[in-house]
Chain A
Amino acid sequence: MGTMFARGLKRKSAEDGEDVEGGLAGAQAMPSYSLQRQSLLDMSLVKLQLCHMLVEPNLCRSVLIANTVRQIQEEMAQDGTWRVVAPQAAGRAPLDRLVSTDILCRSVREQEGERPAPDAGDGHTPDLVPGLATVPSAQALRNPQSSLWEVDSSRENRGGFQKSLDQIFETLENKTSGSVEELFADVDSSYYDLDAVLTGMVGSTQSGHGSGLQAFSPATAAPPSSSCRSDLGELDHAVEILVET
């Protein structure tokens, strides 16, 4: 059922990160490979946080998700799509939900025609950032070879909610009482409304490329549009947490 749309997408220029295709009238818009990949990355990072419940997190699940995050980031680095984008980049209507991610489920061969061309734009080195940046200011980018788990020196700038992946594993390793509470100190349970979170995240990735950092910037930076979900109040609350007011 998604194949018709997918074929249309293949012929479309991959430069444009957006997906709303006038030609596919009457059907739900199929986001581009870039956007879907970004959604997958965002979702994975949220999952890693959500797994810290009262009970010890499932280590196998955490490791598998973390490996997936690394894979995505490595591919983004190869594409050259990983770069800093000005947080104020406004744009079009945010996607309402995580739409069918049919493209991501298909094999590499099928995807070949859809993946974004390496970005030759602004001469930025395609650097890897441990994926959890929150602050809209420019992040120090790191060498793509550096380990996913390395501590970022600018971590102190981050919102309390976002902990790097290595911290998650450190937590599992040497738990001190209250460390789990620490991780969750700034998180309100309303944040667990995944749809609201992803709406804000995906909604701010208007430029498609290199939007990994922007994904976590305050949703207030992106102008709300009529197609935003009505529970913006909840989203604002989540935003406060991210920015650590």
Chain B
Amino acid sequence: MELEKTWADIISTVEFNHTGELLATGDKGGRVVIFQREQESKNQVHRRGEYNVYSTFQSHEPEFDYLKSLEIEEKINKIRWLPQQNAAYFLLSTNDKTVKLWKVSERDKRPEGYNLKDEEGRLRDPATITTLRVPVLRPMDLMVEATPRRVFANAHTYHINSISVNSDYETYMSADDLRINLWNFEITNQSFNIVDIKPANMEELTEVITAAEFHPHHCNSFVYSSSKGTIRLCDMRASALCDRHSKFFEEPEDPSNRSFFSEIISSISDVKFSHSGRYIMTRDYLTVKVWDLNMENRPIETYQVHDYLRSKLCSLYENDCIFDKFECVWNGSDSVIMTGSYNNFFRMFDRNTKRDVTLEASRENSKPRAILKPRKVCVGGKRRKDEISVDSLDFSKKILHTAWHPSENIIAVAATNNLYIFQDKVN
């Protein structure tokens, strides 16, 4: 079935929950769609669990800020799951200004036999009620409902780019271009400002916050990245306002490589802690870098995502592609990292073997159960049969959002308004 592409269906975030059982996507239309993995049936042991739609709901609506005469987009920027503590699932979803906590729960029973209502729910005439009976719970078709439990609003002047749940499971942070706020899940009418890089005089602004994340195990520690290619590690125990960092990660610039676009391509679009908490990974326009928390002066690994774009930077600046914000993800064991590129390509780098692969997420190239064929971009000279030349790349097909199952080799890749889920081949 060929779906018509609509702007509102463009996927803007993808995230597995902590067990990998659920996969959530958010789109530009403010909707959240949650997929659930099928339980592997006993009869078909070799049939891997597929992901089917579990719940769909409208998380955010477009708003109009009358004071500033500006629209507030309903686009979901990020979704983050809370660890599961009971039968219900909880997730945070955010647009540019407001974070919401959603509860997703199942209902498979319904009460029947009300006194005051008839079977269709209409009120009965009290004069006809002559007996008292207790409603009984009877099974019904499974219904999944999503309800907003908290709305965290009015705390961000600038656009929220990140949310991150703390390992204490009681607090989370939201980061915009200039500030980071700490919230308690139970309290919606106030938040605590922990980072503020807004200059007293806005005319002096030269750097913004681009991403932020809590340490996976140390609830006092978090990192945030900037548009100048720097990462700061902060400790909330040191001071209330974490304007002074504990650690400052920056790679010295190579003066021979400097151009007018050097700063733009050094801007970090995503920062992610490894599952172990020992490393951070950053994504800038052309590379992915892995940093050891104990070494601030340079990354320990640098991977070229699409270096063939280096000579095209001016065109990419002209068409604004140079400002695309690509995300990056770790696999469950922190041995492989993945990030997206153009032409619906995405790249995986094995940190141990140093091998890398380019794959394509497209309807034409993937039928169910088919094996993905590695792709190659030809940078000059003779183009081999299967290669694609740099000038043929489609820059409107960008893979900005990907996710990796927390423990298995299952990945989710968002290509504009299509979601692809790839799994390891079953032997």
Which one of B70, B158, B267, B313 contacts A105 once the chains associate, using CB atoms below 8 Å? B313
Q: In whole Å, how far is B133's beta carbon from the nearest beta carbon of chain A?
A: 56
Which one of B66, B69, B205, B267 contacts A169 once the chains associate, using CB atoms below 8 Å? B205
Report the separation of the CA atoms of residues A155 and B315 in the bound assembly, to the nearest whole angstrom. 32
Contact size range, A: 35 or more
Known: A58-B323, A72-B260, A169-B203. A40 touches B314 (CB 8 A): yes
- Are B69's CB and A181's CB within 8 A? yes
Does any Cβ of A come within 8 Å of B368's Cβ? no
Which of chain B's residues have a CB closer than 8 A to the CB of A106? 259, 311
Known: A60-B227, A60-B267. A107 touches B257 (CB 8 A): yes
Which of chain B's residues have a CB closer than 8 A to the CB of A68? 260-261, 263-264
Which of chain A's residues have a CB closer than 8 A to the CB of B260? 37, 40, 68, 71-72, 104
Q: Which residue of B lies closest to A72 (CB)?
A: B260
- Are B96's CB and A56's CB within 8 A? yes
Does any Cβ of A come within 8 Å of B425's Cβ? no
Which of chain B's residues have a CB closer than 8 A to the CB of A150? 203
- Are B318's CB and A104's CB within 8 A? no
Which one of A58, A105, A170, A177 contacts B261 once the chains associate, using CB atoms below 8 Å? A105
Does any Cβ of A come within 8 Å of B33's Cβ? no
Which one of A100, A108, A170 contacts B203 once the chains associate, using CB atoms below 8 Å? A170
Contact size range, B: 35 or more
Which one of A55, A107, A166, A170 contacts B70 once the chains associate, using CB atoms below 8 Å? A55
- Are B210's CB and A177's CB within 8 A? no
Q: Which residue of A lies closest to B210 (CB)?
A: A60
Which of chain A's residues have a CB closer than 8 A to the CB of B261? 68, 104-105
- Are A178's CB and B69's CB within 8 A? yes
Which one of B177, B258, B312, B318 contacts A60 once the chains associate, using CB atoms below 8 Å? B177
**Per-position 1/0 for B255-287, Cβ under 8 A of A:** 111111101100100000000000000000000
- Are A105's CB and B314's CB within 8 A? yes
Does any Cβ of B come within 8 Å of A124's Cβ? no
Does any Cβ of B come within 8 Å of A109's Cβ? yes
Q: In whole Å, how far is B283's beta carbon from the nearest beta carbon of chain A?
A: 14
**Per-position 1/0 for A56-92, Cβ under 8 A of B:** 1011110110111001100000000000000000000
- Are B256's CB and A58's CB within 8 A? no
- Are A61's CB and B323's CB within 8 A? yes
Q: Which residue of B lies closest to A37 (CB)?
A: B260
Does any Cβ of A come within 8 Å of B2's Cβ? no
Q: Which residue of A lies closest to B209 (CB)?
A: A60
Q: In whole Å, how far is B198's beta carbon from the nearest beta carbon of chain A?
A: 9
Does any Cβ of B come within 8 Å of A54's Cβ? yes
Report the separation of the CA atoms of residues A149 and B206 in the bound assembly, to the nearest whole angstrom. 11
Report the separation of the CA atoms of residues A132 and B314 in the bound assembly, to the nearest whole angstrom. 21
- Are A101's CB and B227's CB within 8 A? no
Does any Cβ of A come within 8 Å of B67's Cβ? yes
- Are B203's CB and A109's CB within 8 A? no
Report the separation of the CA atoms of residues A93 and B101 in the bound assembly, to the nearest whole angstrom. 60
Q: Which residue of A lies closest to B310 (CB)?
A: A105
Does any Cβ of A come within 8 Å of B208's Cβ? yes
Report the separation of the CA atoms of residues A54 and B71 in the bound assembly, to the nearest whole angstrom. 6
- Are B70's CB and A180's CB within 8 A? yes
**Per-position 1/0 for A168-199, Cβ under 8 A of B:** 01101101011111000000000000000000
Report the separation of the CA atoms of residues A220 and B263 in the bound assembly, to the nearest whole angstrom. 36
- Are B207's CB and A63's CB within 8 A? yes
- Are A166's CB and B71's CB within 8 A? no
Does any Cβ of B come within 8 Å of A147's Cβ? yes
- Are B312's CB and A54's CB within 8 A? no
Report the separation of the CA atoms of residues A109 and B263 in the bound assembly, to the nearest whole angstrom. 17
Does any Cβ of B come within 8 Å of A243's Cβ? no
Does any Cβ of B come within 8 Å of A98's Cβ? yes
Q: In whole Å, how far is A13's beta carbon from the nearest beta carbon of chain B?
A: 23
Can you list 21 A-B contacts with CB-CB less than 8 angstroms, sorted by A residue number?
Answer: A40-B314, A43-B318, A54-B71, A59-B159, A59-B178, A60-B208, A61-B323, A63-B205, A63-B208, A63-B227, A64-B267, A100-B315, A102-B311, A104-B260, A105-B259, A108-B255, A147-B204, A165-B203, A170-B202, A177-B67, A179-B69
Binding site for A on B (CB under 8 A): 66-73, 96, 158-159, 177-178, 202-208, 210, 227, 255-261, 263-264, 267, 310-315, 317-318, 320, 323
- Complex A-B, nearest 10 residue pairs according to Cβ-Cβ distance, in ascending order: A149-B203, A101-B314, A175-B68, A169-B202, A173-B202, A166-B203, A59-B177, A105-B313, A177-B69, A60-B208
Binding site for B on A (CB under 8 A): 36-37, 40, 43, 47, 54-56, 58-61, 63-64, 66-68, 71-72, 98, 100-102, 104-109, 147, 149-150, 165-166, 169-170, 172-173, 175, 177-181
